[in-house]
Amino acid sequence: MGKKRIIQKSQEELVKEEKQIEESLSRGIGGIPVIGKSREGKIYISSSYNNTIITLTDLKGGVLNWTSAGRIGFKGAKKATPYAASRVAEAIAQIAKKLGITRVAILVKGVGSGRDSAIRSLATHGLDITSIKDITPIPHNGCRPPKVRRV
């Protein structure tokens, strides 16, 4: 393999990029409404027995970013732990701050052990939580039972 080249940008190019980012933040990014100086979004926490996946969306439900315990680097049974869920929530909180989102509504789905620790981690990392809602699907009457066995 050859040498790796690092692209170096001049000071003028860096200033132009910063101006573009500031302009896009002032207008609102893809459906993120600006309320005063805070932007709103939704965070979906999907916690299963095997993994924890957290998705950051705008108010309409368009995905802005997502991350999971497996994506961060946890493998096997460690992905389903509360520690892994708190690390995933920490990562998504940093992404939300970069996008300027400060107020979030949390929607939790699933039965895994990472639900509570993910919510606590989001709260400790400076996000203003407006609501927490459980959207775990619950069967009303369940599946049809099998036919009676005839011997």
Domains in the chain, please, with CATH? 39-134 (3.30.420.80)
In this model, does residue 81 exceed pLDDT 80?
yes
Q: What is the pLDDT of residue 36?
A: 58
Task: Please state, for a pLDDT cut of 70, what percent of the chain lies above it.
Answer: 81
Amino acid identity at 51: N
- The span from the CA of 29 to the CA of 63, in Å, is 12
In this model, does residue 87 exceed pLDDT 90?
yes
Q: Specify the pTM.
A: 0.73
In this model, does residue 19 exceed pLDDT 90?
no
68 in Cβ contact with 54 (< 8 Å): yes
Q: What is the pLDDT of residue 124?
A: 96
- The span from the CA of 105 to the CA of 107, in Å, is 7
Q: What is the pLDDT of residues 21-55, one digit of tens each?
A: 666 555 555 555 555 567 899 999 999 999 999 99
Range list of H helices, 28-128:
69-72, 82-99, 115-124
- The span from the CA of 88 to the CA of 75, in Å, is 13
Nearest CA to 25 among 78, 83, 82, 102?
A: 102
Rounded to the nearest integer, the mean pLDDT of the chain is: 86
- The span from the CA of 106 to the CA of 26, in Å, is 24
Task: Please state, for a pLDDT cut of 90, what percent of the chain lies above it.
Answer: 65
Q: What is the pLDDT of residue 70?
A: 92
- The span from the CA of 29 to the CA of 65, in Å, is 12
